[in-house]
Structures are given as C-alpha cells and as structure tokens.
A and B are shown apart, each in its own frame.
Chain A
C-alpha cells in the first residue's frame, strides 16, 4: 500500500471541502425567505464576530436560528450516515449494506414513537421535553445495536452473515411493531410518527444538542478511522486479514459499535434519511478508490454535501411548504443506485 501523508489526504479532500463550502453558501442563500448575498455575508460576519445582537432584521435571525442550524444538522447527519455506510460495507463485505440494514433506524423510530405516545401523558420540564424524542430514539437505536450484536455472535465472535441476517430480521420485526402501534394509537399522533419515518431535518434543537452530535460524530469517526488500515485488509477477506496480523475480532466489534452509534445519532435527530449511506460511499469509492484512509473522510464530506443539497431542495421545491428530506434522497438516490449498478463491470 502506498504511504499516505497528511498533505496527500488534505489534497484529496480539498476539492470536496470547497464543494461543501459552496453548497453551504447556496443553501444559506436559498430558502422560503429570499436573502441577498450581501445581507447574507454581512449577517454571517456578525455571527462569526459574535455580534449577533446587532442584527436588527428578522432575516438575520432566520439565517442564524433556522437556516444555519439546519444546515449544520444536515452536515452532521449526512457525514454520519455516509461514514456508517462505508464502515458497514467494509465490515460485512457486502456492497448492499447501508446504515439501516442492521435495524438501527427501526429501533430509533420505535423509540421515537414511544416518546411521541408517552409525551402528552408526562409532565416534564420543557428542557427535557424537547429532548425526549431524540433521547428515546437514541435509546431505541442503542438497544437494537446491542440486541443485533448478540444475535450476530457465533462462537464468541461476530459472524458477518449472521449479523446481517439478524439485523434484517430485527429491522422487519421492529417495523411490524411500529405499524401495529401506528394503527392502534390515537390518530392524532400518527401524523408526527409518519414524519419520523420519512426523515426530516426541520426539527429545531437547543445549541447543546448540536455540540453533542458533533462530539459523537468526531469520536466515532475517529475510532473507525483508526481502524482504516485494518478495514483495507479486511476487504481482501477475513482469513487473509487475520494472517496479515489484523485482530479481526476486535476490529469487527469496534467498527460495528462505532458505525451503529453514528447511525443512531443521525436517526435520533432526523428520522431515517434513506440512500445516503448506501450511495455516497459507492460514489466516493469510484472516485477515490477503496483505500479507507482517504475513503472515510471523503465519504463524510460527500455525505454532508449530498444531504445539504437534498435538504435545500426539500425546502425550496414547494416553498413555503416543505418536503421531507428522506423523500428527496430516495427519489434522487434510487435511480443513481441503479445507474451505478448497471455500469459496474460484470
């Protein structure tokens, strides 16, 4: 394998960083409320300088309180899903694997739906009430991760095929419970639940939530990135990797937990945004090759770009109404996937 210097990595990712920056600027500019580029630059400068109190217009507040947090959420969700997808595809050595294949999204959705059902009956302080749904979603995801991990174990270690099948079965079982709950609980709540299943970035959170998400993303991605070399070796086969000195057991455990946590974090704030974790890693692999040392950062940036673009479309296509971002990624992702599938040499 070629040596990888920091400089080389930076060069690889620079283009993506520039694209992401441009996409963010465009996403900040366009929306239901028109904002001129000049006003945008002025307001952003004030945000950066910490003088946000000087923004007199509502537009500045809209940018600062609605659009920017939403774009940041999109970046975090997209990057998390994409890194998780990359890791699962390497871990399970299955090109069809995506962050949801192991049932994490169904577990998160079930947790969220429980929260939506229970919330009207609980009297909670507002700070906690606002966090109840994402928190329950994350707990649901974590519980599913644990359950699938134990389902996927064979003779004390994770078996890729068993893990995959266990995940698929868990996902469909949990989906069945969700369907059951949605058809039995009071109809007033179902509307919110449907949006939970579709994927949505319009939810607003307190500032601390974004910091928490960012910290979780950095930690989990860091852990996966530390195993990037081992993932490269795993691609040539588990036995081969073992012979080359990779502790396959440890790598599988660590990467599985980290990638699942990334998925859980993303799903708990946005619902299930589909196809990002499936398509973006494949596209990035076509461009940058399958060296995980470049692939993982590239996938993170690519996922961020894809979700921010999709969410911008979701916001402006039917403005002043909105679409669910999951609908946009699915509409764009499915044809793209078919295209990639067909052009792949047999």
Chain B
C-alpha cells in the first residue's frame, strides 16, 4: 500500500542522519515544527485519524521507542486515536477552548482541503505564489520555495524544494509545512496528490484573468489567516487598475503581438490572464487562438501587421538585442513594427499571476500610451525611472510616487520593499 511506504522511507532516512533531532521529540513526522513539544491531543487532530494510525504503527514507534516501552506506547497511542477520532468529528459540539485546529476549504481546482490552523509554515511551489506571500507580508512564514522563485530577491534565500514541475517531496516533508501552495498551470496534479498521501495539506490556485488574480489573492489571504492584508492588496490592485482604465478609456487599444518565443513564434491565446492583462494596458493581441501558447504563423502576423511587439524580458536590454536580431531576418523584416523597431519591453512579472502583474500592466500602458500619462511634469518621471529602472520593476509600487497616494498596503509589505 502506498500510504504506508512513503512516509516510512522518510522517517528512516531522517533517523539515520547524524545530528538530527531525535524523532521522539517529533510526535507526528510531518506536523509543524512549532508543535513538536506540544501535548499529543493537539497533534492527533491534524491528521485524519485512520491514516496516521496506519502510517505510524510500523515506522514511528519502532524507530523511536525502546522495545520495552513499545507495547505500552502502542496501547496508549491506539487509545488516544480512538478518543481523538470522534473528538474532531464532533468538534462543533465540543466546547472548544482553542480555535478549531482545522479549516476545510475548497481550492480553485475543486479539491476539498483540510488546512491546519493557524498556518505558520508555508511552502510555495510557484514564483507567483511566492510573490503573493511576500505581498501579503507573510514572508516570515514562507519556509520553502522553488528554484524559479527569484522575486523578491529575498525569496532566493529560502530553502529550495526543486523546480515547480518536479519538486522534491522529501525536502518539502522535511520542512514540516502546514500548507503547501501550488498552481494548476505551473505544477502537476501528481505533486498535490503525492502530498495528500503524505498527509500534507496543499492548496492550488488557478487564475485565468486579472480579476481572477485579485480574487485568488484575496481568498488565499483568507486561507492563510490574514484577510485584512488580502483585502488591502486587492483594493490596491483594483484601485490602480481603475485609475489606469480611467486614463485609457478614450484611447483606442493598440494592436500588439505578444512574443513569448521568437523562433518559432509563440504567442499567447485569448483565454490566458496575459491576454487579459494586455486589455488592461490598453492593448489587444492580434493572435486569436483558443490554445494558451499557440505557435503562430508569421504570415498571419504579417497580414495583420501589429502596431508593436510586446516582450516580457527577464534580463534588461535583451529585447533590443532580440529586435536587432529579428530585423535582419527576411521573414521578420516585413513586419512594419520590426522594421521601425516599435516594441515594448516589460518586466516578466506579467507572466506571473501575482499582485505585481499590476505594475507590469502599468509599465506596458505607459509605453503604449505615453500621451495618457503626459500630464505630469516630465522631470519627475525621469527621476523616478532613475530610482527604479524599468527593467527592475518594484513590487506593487507605481513607478511615479505622485501618481498614486501612499496606501495602507505599502506598509503591509514592508519586508518586500526592504529586501530590494
């Protein structure tokens, strides 16, 4: 049986590690660290009782207790489980002195997840989720993230659990997270399934539009126990998008080609949050495809002649180099936008369904419709650009401080701003 095998392996490898804290101090192998010394009553409730009994009967008791105590402990353990199982089933009727240790939520992929409360140790499996956690001011609770989580720079210092596609379950388990966050698009369902088998709660998001990102951030904040921070981040995002919409409402949208990859040309489809983000920035993608990342025929692009090309660049200056490269190729030369070097380069934050996408949207809108932002004196804009070079966008801060009044939100993410 799979349930029995996985954790037992992990326990075994843990106990062999020299200098590792003895397992006896850690009653549940994957429970949070903070509860290591707490009474057993609080621990049993973290797991579905049937699962823990199967899992621990062999591995945990054998490896941690002297043989003499094993029988007694086993008896006590079974007795405890018998008591614990009904207790959490009827937790509503019990007069609870503490807040309920579990919360049952349905995540965005439709799974019902039981999340231990409060959530104190989080592992993020996607760069967007890592950014969201920082934006919510919860960076101290983030105990692990992926190799791709590079923003804010502080996130690079967190324990890495591997890539989003193939994270190391052992590393995740060793971090004893209360909750693992995943996304449907960046991670595989097999990962959350495997975490379920290990008794580790996981919550998956699946935003498909900018509005989804805002809603998802709010819900996630609620799940993580910081609804106020979520409301304030969402409000900030909505506020800035509304401001943008107001500025752009009279301007015709620019027809753009969003370039994901050049050879072969890959763009974004109509049902992605990226296409939605383009709308908010006063642009419309010329690519009409229902696939998310279609390979696009250059002929079609040449026929439609986009006003400009939009690139999400991970390295400053890479776009201008890319344009020069395209400008010498016969098939690309016939695009007027390439010939005249009409392009917009925005931060690759636009690829991540996280609060920072609003900054990328603003950045794009400024490049596409400079007239709409021209009312401010030009020197103040220059100054702010010097401060925050466009290639290194700053989380959720407008590039011009005058444009948006200082918001409650910016204080709530002090950690993020400092870490820059």
Which residues of A from 104 to 159 have beta carbons under 8 Å from B? 120, 123-124, 126-127, 129-130, 133
A58–B165 Cα distance when bound, in Å, is 43
With a cutoff of 8 Å between Cβ atoms, the chain B residues found around residue A69 in the complex are 330-331
With A65-B334, A126-B328 already in contact, the answer to whether A202 and B264 are too (CB < 8 A) is yes
Q: Are A126 and B297 in contact (CB under 8 A)?
A: no
With a cutoff of 8 Å between Cβ atoms, the chain B residues found around residue A62 in the complex are 299, 302-303, 334
Indicate which residue in B261, B288, B321 contacts A192 across the interface (CB closer than 8 Å).
B261
B291: interface (CB < 8 Å): yes
Stretch from A1-9, A85-93, A318-326 contacting the other chain? A318-326
With A183-B163, A200-B264, A320-B289 already in contact, the answer to whether A58 and B334 are too (CB < 8 A) is yes
Indicate which residue in B266, B300, B331 contacts A320 across the interface (CB closer than 8 Å).
B300
The distance from the CB of A132 to the nearest CB of chain B, in whole angstroms, is 9
A69–B302 Cα distance when bound, in Å, is 15
With A129-B325, A183-B166 already in contact, the answer to whether A191 and B299 are too (CB < 8 A) is no
A187: interface (CB < 8 Å): yes
| Total A-B contacts with CB atoms under 8 angstroms apart | 122
Stretch from A163-171, A203-211, A212-220, A222-230 contacting the other chain? A203-211
Residue picked from B148, B260, B299, most chain A C-beta under 10 Å? B299
Q: How many residues of B contact A (CB 8 A)?
A: 41
Indicate which residue in A126, A184, A320, A321 contacts B325 across the interface (CB closer than 8 Å).
A126
A36: interface (CB < 8 Å): no
With a cutoff of 8 Å between Cβ atoms, the chain A residues found around residue B299 in the complex are 31-33, 62, 66-67, 315, 320
Q: Are A204 and B331 in contact (CB under 8 A)?
A: yes
With A188-B314, A202-B263, A321-B291 already in contact, the answer to whether A61 and B297 are too (CB < 8 A) is no
With a cutoff of 8 Å between Cβ atoms, the chain A residues found around residue B295 in the complex are 195, 202, 321-324
Q: Are B297 and A58 in contact (CB under 8 A)?
A: no
B113: interface (CB < 8 Å): no
With a cutoff of 8 Å between Cβ atoms, the chain B residues found around residue A321 in the complex are 289, 291, 294-297
Q: Are B328 and A206 in contact (CB under 8 A)?
A: yes
With a cutoff of 8 Å between Cβ atoms, the chain A residues found around residue B334 in the complex are 58, 61-62, 65-66
With a cutoff of 8 Å between Cβ atoms, the chain A residues found around residue B287 in the complex are 320
A160–B303 Cα distance when bound, in Å, is 52
Size category of the binding interface on chain A: 35 or more
Q: Are B302 and A33 in contact (CB under 8 A)?
A: yes
Contact with A along B34-57 (1 / 0, CB 8 A): 000000000000000000000000
Q: Are B163 and A130 in contact (CB under 8 A)?
A: no
With A69-B331, A204-B330 already in contact, the answer to whether A322 and B296 are too (CB < 8 A) is yes
Q: Are B303 and A130 in contact (CB under 8 A)?
A: no
Q: Are A204 and B329 in contact (CB under 8 A)?
A: yes
With A65-B334, A195-B264, A206-B328 already in contact, the answer to whether A58 and B302 are too (CB < 8 A) is yes
Indicate which residue in A33, A126, A203, A315 contacts B327 across the interface (CB closer than 8 Å).
A126
Q: Are B303 and A33 in contact (CB under 8 A)?
A: yes
Q: Are A126 and B324 in contact (CB under 8 A)?
A: yes
Q: Chain A: which residue is nearest B269 at the CB level?
A: A321
Q: Are B297 and A32 in contact (CB under 8 A)?
A: yes
B355: interface (CB < 8 Å): no
B188: interface (CB < 8 Å): no
Q: Are A129 and B296 in contact (CB under 8 A)?
A: no
Which residues of B from 260 to 311 have beta carbons under 8 Å from A? 260-261, 263-266, 287-289, 291, 293-300, 302-303, 305
What are the 8 A-B residue pairs with the smallest beta carbon separation, nearest first?
A204-B331, A320-B300, A126-B324, A32-B300, A32-B297, A204-B329, A321-B294, A65-B330
Between A and B, 28 residue pairs with Cβ closer than 8 Å are A31-B299, A32-B299, A33-B303, A58-B334, A59-B303, A62-B303, A64-B330, A65-B331, A65-B334, A120-B315, A126-B321, A126-B327, A129-B324, A130-B329, A133-B263, A187-B164, A192-B263, A195-B264, A195-B295, A200-B264, A202-B295, A203-B264, A206-B329, A206-B330, A315-B297, A320-B296, A322-B297, A324-B264
Q: Which residues of B contact A (CB under 8 A)?
A: 148, 163-166, 260-261, 263-266, 287-289, 291, 293-300, 302-303, 305, 314-315, 318, 321, 324-325, 327-334, 348
